[in-house]
Amino acid sequence: MPEVVIMKEIKGRNEEYAEANRKKLAKDHVLMVNVMGAPGAGKTSFLMALCKELKARGIRSAIIEGDLYSSIDTDDFVKEGFYSLQINTVGECHIDANVVRQGYDKLGFSDGVVFVENVGNLICPAEFDLGEGLRIITASTPEGDDKPYKYVPMYSYVDAVVLTKCDLKDAVGFDTEYFTKGLRAVNDAPVFETSARSVESASGIGAIADLVEGEYKKI
């Protein structure tokens, strides 16, 4: 069984904690990546593929999993041999800087990339700076191509957009042009197309690994 930590946030001091995290991460030579997205956007499958790709490149990674309840995702990472820590927010709709720090300190990790899989939510996590170096949103094609028009704060907040389940584009009638137009209205972030179920549609993993590797090497 993986370690499960139940945590509640301390309200109102998030910026202070985020700043402390930034200093600690720099000292540890760690790139923290905040991975956000709606419930079922495919965050875990995407992270699994990305961590394997980084491992093949000789880059260490660890995963802090955020969920209201359960340790389903952490179980998957542990099965695959990755060190992963589960945070259960017991109802809280996001992870904040203090909560992620408690998880990070328990990891005892350095010289690599720590991915924070945030709680599945397209709204609240965009209000909480974790002190991270890179912010990624996973957007699944079945969610629909109109999401950047509706979830403006989140789509404005991120450094990169990972479009998941691209093998389903035709089946769900996803209009990439319409999606991109909505995104471009608020953000110049690059878009990476991926699919956990189809090798042909999964070319984006290598490209996003390049981005993560590049950011890591800047530290």
Q: Does 124 bind a copy of itself (CB under 8 A)?
A: yes
Closest CA relative to residue 213, chosen from 22, 60, 34: 60
Write the DSSP symbol of residue 9: P
Tally Cβ neighbours within 10 Å of residue 82.
19
**Which tokens in the block code for residue 186?**
């608020």
Q: Give CA 179 to chain center in angstroms.
A: 20
User: By C-beta, is 85 or 119 nearer to a copy of itself?
Assistant: 119
User: By C-beta, is 6 or 219 nearer to a copy of itself?
Assistant: 6
Q: Does 53 bind a copy of itself (CB under 8 A)?
A: no
Among the listed ranges 8-16, 47-55, 77-85, 148-156, the one in contact with a copy of itself (CB under 8 A) is 148-156
CA dist 159 → 43, 71, 110, 146, 215 (Å): 16, 28, 23, 19, 11
User: By C-beta, is 152 or 207 nearer to a copy of itself?
Assistant: 152
Q: Does 4 bind a copy of itself (CB under 8 A)?
A: no
Closest CA relative to residue 217, chosen from 144, 141, 131, 112: 112
Closest CA relative to residue 118, chosen from 96, 145, 140: 96
Binding test (CB under 8 A) with a copy of itself, winner from 20, 68, 207, 211: 68
Q: Does 206 bind a copy of itself (CB under 8 A)?
A: no
Report the nearest approach of a copy of itself to the CB of residue 144 (Å).
5
**Which tokens in the block code for residue 134?**
């890179």
Binders in 151-170 for a copy of itself, by CB under 8 A: 151-153, 165, 168
Per-residue x/- mask for a copy of itself, residues 6 to 45, rule CB under 8 A?
--------------------------------xxx-----
Q: Does 143 bind a copy of itself (CB under 8 A)?
A: yes
